[in-house]
């Protein structure tokens, strides 16, 4: 592991490990007790680097040409705000494209937590008016 505690170094290592499909190097970017919070999908939140391993093993197997691009990074102390694009082709031939933000907290060169806002891109979704109307019409959820 790189012992740099600089959050930007972590982001660089994480993107490089992702693009090399180096599962061990990728998992080494995360603390053993890493906490991943997924605010838009709370049931998908998890704790532990072993879950990171399971998730990425599936992604590398299912999207053999998966590539990560860090579009921007802003660092404030131990926190890195990062904007990502993940793209590739699934084994069934369908394109896969995700974009979003991940906010990492870093200590001793590893991510200790993240707030994860990465989502599949909806290329043929509703326009702005229809999206707003859909949200407004949805009403309260249980």
* pTM for the model: 0.89
% of the chain residues with pLDDT over 90: 81
Average pLDDT over residues 123-131: 87
Q: Please give the DSSP secondary-structure letter assigned to residue 17.
A: H
CATH number of 7-138: 3.10.450.50
**Tokens standing for 44?**
């998908």
Give, in order, the Cα–Cα distances in Å from 29 to each of 63, 93, 99, 108. 21, 30, 20, 10
Helix, coil or strand: residue 89? strand
Which residue bears the tokens 């590893």?
110
Least confident of 35-39, 61-65, 133-137: 133-137
pLDDT at 141: 56
Q: For residues 141 and 54, what is the distance between their CA atoms, to the nearest angstrom?
A: 31
């Amino acid at each position: 592991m790189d012992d740099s505690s600089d959050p930007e170094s972590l982001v660089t290592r994480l993107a490089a490990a992702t693009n090399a499909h180096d599962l061990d190097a990728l998992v080494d970017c995360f603390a053993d007790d890493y906490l991943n919070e997924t605010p838009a999908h709370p049931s998908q939140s998890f704790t532990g680097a072993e879950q990171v391993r399971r998730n990425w093993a599936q992604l590398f197997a299912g999207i053999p040409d998966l590539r990560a691009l860090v579009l921007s990074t802003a660092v404030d102390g131990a926190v890195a705000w990062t904007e990502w694009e993940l793209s590739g082709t699934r084994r069934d031939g369908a394109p896969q494209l995700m974009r979003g933000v991940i906010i990492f907290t870093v200590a001793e060169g590893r991510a200790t937590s993240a707030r994860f806002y990465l989502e599949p891109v909806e290329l043929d979704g509703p326009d702005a008016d229809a999206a707003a109307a859909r949200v407004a019409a949805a009403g309260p959820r249980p």
